Amino acid sequence: MTADELQTLIEDATADYALGDSAVALAKLSRATAAAPDSFEAWHALAEVNFSLRSLDAALAAGERAHALRPNDLFINTTLSRIWMERGDKARAEHFGAQAKIADWKEQLKSPPSS
């Protein structure tokens, strides 16, 4: 699968989910992660869809795979914080929430506001 095909598959899955076809979205994201196990975007999308469906174990597994690929990413740290909060582990939720804030601050420092 080419990078463009992978991106299209992820985008199609996201659209399917938005249109209410969760089963098709999950199937496409499963294909994407199988074809490209190093795709942060595929794992993150899979985590988000599963989280939205309240499949917290599957969301956590996908989120951890995405986090292993990009541990300093603002969005995956936010996703993991939300998952852990839903699972009732406030300490882990706060840990990932803090990591998200740090990632955001780092981004802000890279592009300070113009004066």
pLDDT of residue 110: 82
Positions in the chain short of pLDDT 50: none
pLDDT of residue 103: 80
pLDDT of residue 98: 86
Element holding 46 (H helix, E strand) = helix 40-52
pLDDT of residue 107: 79
pLDDT of residue 7: 96
pLDDT of residue 101: 86
For the chain, what are the domain ranges?
Answer: 3-110
pLDDT of residue 102: 84
CATH architecture for residues 3-110: Alpha Horseshoe (1.25)
Write the Ramachandran bin of 20: left for phi over 0, alpha for psi from -120 to 50, otherwise beta.
left
Q: How many H-runs (helices) and E-runs (strands) does the chain carry?
A: 6, 0
